Structure formats: structure tokens, C-alpha cells
Amino acid sequence: MEKLQTKYLGLTLSSPLIVSSSLLTSTAGQLKEAEDSGAGAVVLKSLFEEQITSQVHSLSSAHEYPEAADYIANYVRSNSVDNYLDLIRKAKKNLKIPVIPSVNCYTAEGWTGFARKMEDAGADALEVNVFFLPVDRKKTSAESEKLYLDLIEKLRRSITIPISLKIGFRFSNILYMIDQFYMRGVAGVVMFNRFFEPDIDINKMEIIPASVFSKEFERRYVLRWIAMASAQDVKIDISASTGVKSGQDAVKYLLAGANTVQVCSVLYEKGISYIRTMNEQILKWMKTKEFDSVDVFRGMLNYMNYDMPAVYERTQFMKHFSTYE
């Protein structure tokens, strides 16, 4: 497996495939299965401050006495965080591959407080699952995006382990933001996060969740930006996410310039052990192209290295399909 070895966040991975944050990375047994199946690293299921707060409110509201409510609130917070920290410790004890916890908060105290505890528990790095939905029409894009930069600066003052930001693509200028992340000490970005998206049930007249699993066609939203971001003169690592169903899909992201590829939806469909098949597919492709390592072909088709970079700039169909019948 040496041919698949890669670097991410300053860590050495035996494979570019990472099991991304999900229920599949929420128990010690699943994490061990991921390692045994050939995963290069695991990102633990996110610790959601919002979920903890919701549990606190639902339990506390059932009690009339403030003292009881305070006790319950403190117990739920401590128990939730302690369970998560225990998972980090168990993973570090049982696994040889890097263990990367994930945190999703909405208060500055939550981010920094949880992050410090995770570092103390032995985390190799931290993935920050972050997205501030702009809902105020009077707030400029610069004001909205400054929230990310302020958060990074707080985190960097709080912890020393590498930080990776799992971001969405809804920025006015993604490349500028990645540059700003790098300048503030962020070691990597995950491109891109999947968020809750609403759908409408026209029979029940209700808002319902859209499908949470990624589809192969969604990869096209990611490839362009990885290819362009990896060509910038910034040494920030990129982990690709979304639309990965096979080793061949992972190869596409690596050719575009990704350091690693995060896998989730396909593992729900085919099981964690499918990572082994994906690694074999990557190795088989490498053999046909006579590539001895991932580093040899990484970024070969990104914006800087491809001989027709304009294809990444094209946004309109007319020029490409003007002769299509």
C-alpha cells in the first residue's frame, strides 16, 4: 500500500481515502473496521453544540425547580462531551491511522472550548464543520465572511493541532477565502460540505428534508474548484468530498489536485469494507498509467498544469455545445 501513501494536514496516511464524519464513524468498532479496510484516516462524527443545547432545553423544561434544571443542563453537556472525548481516546488507543474529530458549534465559546478538550484527548487534527447561513439582507458578503476569519483566529489561539475547515461553496469568491484561511494558519479545507437542504411534500403541504446522500453528478460542482484552488500559490491541503462512489471517482479528485478524498454515502450503500475495493481500483488505474505513487499524478490536471486551463473558467454551454445536435 506504499503506492497510496499521501500527506494531509502534516500527517502521513497510508491511503488518500478518508471515512468522513457520519454515523459510520461514531463507535470504536466502526473506526477499527475502517482502519482494517484500508482507510487512511477517520473523521469522527461531529459533536454538535446545537444538538447538545436542544437536549438540555427539552429535559430542563420538564422541571419546575431552577436547581434541578441547572443540574440537568450541566449533566447533559458534560456527559455528551465526555462521551465524545472517550471515543477519541479509545480510537487513539486502538488505531494506528490518524483520528480527526469534528466539531460543529454556533458560539465562539463552544468552538474553542470543545476544540481544547479534543486536543487534550489526543486528536491528531481537528475538522471544523462550519457554515454561517447569510439570512440578513442588510449584511454584506464581506461582513458574513468575516465570521469565518474571526472563528479561525480564536481557534488558532486556543489549540496547536492542525485545523481543517469543512466549507460550503456559497462564497462570493472561494479562492480568496481559501487564501485568507491559509494566511490565518488553517492547514486544510474540505471541499465541500453537505448541508441540510429543504424539499416540499406537495401532498402533505410540509417542508421535508431533501436526500442526504450525495450523487455522482454532484462531483461536477466540486472538481472545478479543487482544480483551481490546488493551483494557487498557497500550501493548504485539500480534501475532496461529495459524489465519490468508486476508486475511479477518487482518482478524478486526485488528478484535480486533492490531497485526500472523503468517502461516506457509498459506504452506507456498500459497507465500510468497500474502502478496500476502492483502494484496489485506484491501484489498478495507477498500474495501467505506470504511476508509482499518488504524488506523481496529483494535480496533473489542475488549473495550472492542464494545457487548456480555460475549460475550468467556462461557465456557459453555448461555446461548448454550439455544434451539438
Tell me the three-class secondary structure of the chain, residue by residue.
Answer: CHHHCEEECCEEECCCEEECCCHHHCCHHHHHHHHHCCCCEEECCCEEHHHHHHHHHHHHCCCCCHHHHHHHHHHHHHHHHHHHHHHHHHHHHHCCCCEECEEECCCHHHHHHHHHHHHHCCCCCEEEECCCCCCCCCCCHHHHHHHHHHHHHHHHHHCCCCEEEEECCCCCCHHHHHHHHHHCCCCEEEECCCCCCEEEECCCCEEEECCCCCCHHHHHHHHHHHHHHCCCCCCCEEEECCCCCCHHHHHHHHHHCCCEEEECHHHHHHCCCHHHHHHHHHHHHHHHHCCCCHHHHCCCCCCCCCCCCHHHHCCCCHHHHCCCC
Q: Residue 189 sits in a domain of what CATH number?
A: 3.20.20.70
Lowest mean pLDDT segment, chosen from 41-45, 80-84, 218-222, 285-289: 218-222
Rounded Cα gap, residues 166 and 131, in angstroms = 8
What is the mean pLDDT of the segment spanning 312-324? 61
Peptide bond into 169 cis (omega under 30): no
- pLDDT score, position 202: 93
The tens digit of pLDDT for each residue in 165-185 reads 999 888 889 999 999 999 999
Give how many domains the chain has, as a whole number: 1
CB burial of residue 74 (10 Å; 0-12, 13-18, 19+):
exposed
Q: Which domain holds residue 215?
A: 2-321
Cβ-proximal residues to 265 (8 Å cutoff; 6+ apart), any chain: 213, 214, 244, 245
Give 260-275 pLDDT, tens digit per residue.
999 999 999 999 999 9
Quote the crossing angle between the two packed helices 220-229 and 174-183, to the nearest 10°: 50
Maximum CA pair distance of the chain?
74
Vertex 302, ends 246 and 100: CA angle to 5°? Answer: 55
Number of C-beta neighbours around residue 303 at 10 A: 23
Residues 6+ apart with CB under 8 A from 97: 13, 14, 34, 35, 39, 40, 41, 42
Of residues 90 and 316, more confidence is placed in: 90
Q: Does the pLDDT value for residue 36 go beyond 80?
A: yes
Q: What are phi and psi of 7, to 5 degrees?
A: -115, 140
pLDDT digits (tens, 9 = 90+) for 207-243: 988 776 767 767 778 999 999 999 998 889 999 999 9
Does the pLDDT of residue 254 top 90, yes or no? Answer: yes
**Residue-level pLDDT at 188:** 98
